[in-house]
A and B are shown apart, each in its own frame.
Chain A
Amino acid sequence: EVQLVESGGGLVQPGGSLRLSCAASGFTFSSYAMSWVRQAPGKGLEWVSAISSSGGYTFHADSVKGRFTISRDDSKNTLYLQMNSLRAEDTALYYCAKAQADFWSGYSVSWGQGTLVTVSS
């Protein structure tokens, strides 16, 4: 069974940094592209970032480009999201999600339960 467990969320001041982690199990992590999707409280879904299985291709939404970096450590079966220069509008529940194949095709087949990031002074 696919399991994705996010961690690293919390309260951070505007301009601060945070690194989210996603521990994956139940599948061959190194064979799949992964992504992050966020959901502001009471709002809809917003795709954030994606990474290919090799890590050689990364993609970011315009709203986070230059501030967020997605990466992966296949030896630890873990996905990361480094978030810098955080803004109030980055406040959201951040989901880790597994793609259907090794390359990021644009959608996710399995999701974690999310980790909450709150940006506030």
Chain B
Amino acid sequence: EIVMTQSPATLSVSPGERATLSCWASQSVRSNLVWYQQKPGQAPRLLIYGASTRATGIPARFSGSGSGTEFTLTISSLQSEDFAVYYCQQYNNWPPEVTFGQGTKLEIK
């Protein structure tokens, strides 16, 4: 099983500042990686797929990068609505093997 590890577990950032979240895969997943945002009491929302493609309706301040085993989600200028938990998820191999990271909580500093 491919293990996804996110860092840090909690990230404290001030509004308007830049946030950088990291995700590592235990083996290469090529670009088969997505990022979700989840706010308390809500379902996850797809932000990024294919490691770097923004999903429909996602603001340009969200960007994803990386391939292979190292990935990054960057939020260029944090808005109040961006404080949430962020999960990375890989979808590799055939038949599809899907595993999530444990999440990074982005909180207001």
Contacts and interface: CB of A to CB of B under 8 A. Distances in A.
Interface in A20-73: 37, 44-47, 50, 59, 61-62
A107 B46 contact: yes
B43 A107 contact: no
A9 interface: no
A108 B36 CA distance: 10
B100 interface: yes
A45 B46 CA distance: 13
A112 B49 contact: no
Nearest to A35: B98
Interface size class of A (residues with CB under 8 A): 20 to 34
B95 interface: yes
Nearest to B38: A45
Nearest to B4: A44
B21 interface: no
Contacts of A113: 42-43
A45 B95 contact: no
B46 A109 contact: yes
Contacts of B66: none
Contacts of B96: 50, 59, 104-106
Contacts of B87: 44-45
B98 A106 contact: yes
A44 B98 contact: no
Given A50-B96, A111-B43, A44 B102 contact: yes
Given A44-B101, A111-B43, 11 more contacts: A45-B38, A45-B44, A45-B100, A45-B103, A61-B98, A62-B1, A106-B91, A107-B34, A107-B89, A107-B91, A114-B43
Interface of A: 37, 44-47, 50, 59, 61-62, 95, 100, 104-114
